[in-house]
Chains A and B, each alone.
Chain A
Amino acid sequence: MENKTVKVTIKDSVGALPRVIQIFARRGFAIEEIHAISKENNKEVTIVFPADDYIKKIVLGQLNKLNDSIEVIEVQ
């Protein structure tokens, strides 16, 4: 499977990063790289992960579904 990259901006509250990571962990999806920076009151998290179209759709959907996520962008 090819690596895909997604950038998620999430409100910097208690547990922001675990919220993002558990989406992958509970489904057995791998993370190749993860990088987080603080930006104003938010965290901007960039994740590289191996995915086919189905896995990508699930990940993007679940990241969007998080109550605290503000923006989810697939990086080409």
Chain B
Amino acid sequence: MTTIKGARGIVQALLDEKADTLFGIPGGAALPLYDEFHKESNIKHIHMRHEQGAAHAAEGYARVLGKVGVCMGTSGPGATNLITGIADAFMDSVPIVALTGQVPTKLLGKDAFQETDTFGVTLPITKHNFRLEKPEDAYQNTRDAFNISLSGRPGPVLIDLPKDTMVGDFELNQDTFKYAPLKTLPAVSTEIFSKVVDIIFNAERPMILAGGGVTIANAGFELTKLAELLKCYVATTITAKGAIPTTHPLALGQIGMHGRQVVNHSIANCDVILAIGTRFSDRITGDISAFAPNAKIIHIDIDATEIGKNVAVEMGIVTDAKTALQSILAVAAEKQLQGKENLWRKRVKALDTECSCNIASDETPIRPETIIKEINEVLPDNAIVTTEVGHHQMFATHFLNVKNPRNFLTSAGAGTMGFGLPAAIGAKVAKPDQPVIDISGDGSLIMVCQEIATAVENDIPLTIALLNNGGYAIVQQWQKTFYEGRKIATEFGKHTDFVKLAQSLGAEGIKVTKTSEIQEAMKQGMESDKVFLVDIATSPVDNGIPLVPPLGKNTEMLLGRNCPLVKPRYFDGE
């Protein structure tokens, strides 16, 4: 037993949880803990330039490794700046622990300097949160925070740290430490999986819908194996991109609002959906009443509250994606079952070919889909790609080749502009030997451009592929489509010179205006040991991606340029 300060108890808990990196910014109320980091060489502190960046960097680290990312800010604005990243992690089930400084306990509620009710503000956007009441809780609560964050369906946990709880002493006895008990899921019986196997192998028109839960459970291998055994096409949500390699012949691609026509029509016409680790958000289903009207849905999710939340299901199974897929594969092997080629599979294949978009072009300004195609040509298999949010993101989710799970990081549920650059920093810290690329838009990048300085200062080499269209193109597409083309606040009147901006922050950069220059510029970036910006001029308004109007029917897409119209009736009947 040793007597230590609360702040040291937190650091000891971080060490015992094998946390090696913390992304943060100090401030008055955070200093007792920061002073302990000064004395602790086994935890690397990455000094971010904005707390939103700290939270996203922790997310990037966590999304790549599947372990808890840690971020920190001071009280008041330091904590509120973290909020966007915490909310983002909550929406996409990312395990992060956020530490926030707080005014001393005796000043709580006195409107003290930099006092915000961080605990209250973060209640609805955390999986759980703590406010330390006494130094004795520091070690226990911090370790519990890690345990809660990573268990079951992962999510963010926040610990608010009143200054007095960090400076007060307590007796630490690590030998008697135990996590506070967590709820456990009952095991699912083999009979249940046997029933699932009977349904999917007897289905005439089966589809698999994979969500982020497959990525989180590291079940990409099992997903691919089941798809091959069942000879079944796999639709993916954007958080599942890479769970089955996008180049796999059974990987049909993205579902929903900006999905592929073949996916939306296949889902509308299939008779069984095996949905794994997805929450059927509005971006996936569109008009619920028209979603998969002919299908029995088998929904597997680790979170019981997701079953039946958004769509009615035939069967709900509460377990993690890996356990479920392994069990299904085991039963199928025992029954010696295999999917059969039939008319349905041929039709899906034909439709897949028919609706493929032509993304090769040498137009100027360069088309965004062409930029993604050119990036595909030079992207190493082990590259980690992050995106911001907007048009560039949807082009990336639609057209980018991703061969491994956890190699494509994007802000899905929250749709947070400014996610990609700090997430790329976190990803590169987590996987220093893999190239990391942020596919970015100018609207998003300028929201977090200060983090270029973070990457430069910490020698974190990144390539930023900037699809520069001088505005918020996806919002412009909505204005054009739904508001008779009235554009407001979606164009930048004066263009920022992003290369000069990057250079002023210590990075390197070049401008690209021709398709033929993209591959070379990207290679230069990836081979550089610096932060390298490739500023690619692209068309300001380009309805290049198909779109389902909000809450419209998924089968009634407004088509993007150069994406041929496919006929839904092609699918009717057998």
Contact = CB atoms under 8 A, between A and B. Distances in A.
Interface of A: 13-15, 18-19, 22, 26, 57-58, 61-62, 64-65, 67-68
Given A18-B123, A58-B305, A67-B128, 12 more contacts: A14-B119, A14-B130, A15-B123, A57-B308, A58-B309, A61-B304, A64-B183, A64-B305, A67-B127, A67-B148, A67-B182, A68-B128
Interface residues of B, number: 18
Given A14-B119, A65-B305, A67-B148, A26 B124 contact: yes
14 contacts: A14-B131, A14-B133, A15-B123, A18-B123, A19-B123, A22-B123, A22-B124, A57-B308, A58-B305, A58-B309, A64-B183, A65-B304, A65-B305, A67-B182
B120 interface: yes
B129 interface: yes
Contacts of A58: 305, 309
B131 A62 contact: no
Interface SS, B side:
mixed
Contacts of B127: 67
Nearest to B141: A13
A18 B128 CA distance: 12
Contacts of B148: 67
Interface in B302-333: 303-305, 308-309
B480 to A, nearest CB: 32
Most buried by A among B120, B123, B304: B123
A62 B131 CA distance: 22
A interface, by DSSP: helix, strand, loop or mixed? helix
Contacts, number: 33
Contacts of B308: 57
A66 B183 CA distance: 10
A22 B129 CA distance: 14
A58 B309 CA distance: 7
Nearest to A14: B131
A68 B129 CA distance: 10
Interface string B177-206: 000001100000000000000000000000
A22 B183 CA distance: 21
Contacts of A61: 304-305
A19 B126 CA distance: 11
Contacts of A15: 119-120, 123, 129, 131
Nearest to A11: B180
Task: Determine which residue in A57, A61, A64, A68 has the highest number of CB atoms from chain B within 10 A of its CB, and name it.
Answer: A61
A63 to B, nearest CB: 10
A19 B305 CA distance: 16
Contacts of A62: 305
Nearest to A57: B308
A13 B129 CA distance: 10
Question: What are the 3 A-B residue pairs with the smallest beta carbon separation, nearest first?
Answer: A61-B305, A67-B128, A14-B131
Contact of B120 (A13, A18, A57, A67): A18
Nearest to A25: B124
Nearest to A19: B123
A19 B127 CA distance: 11
Contact of A65 (B119, B123, B303): B303
Contacts of B120: 15, 18
A8 to B, nearest CB: 14
A57 B119 CA distance: 27
A64 B304 contact: yes
Contacts of A57: 308
A65 B303 CA distance: 8
Interface string B126-152: 011111010000000000000010000
A26 B121 CA distance: 13
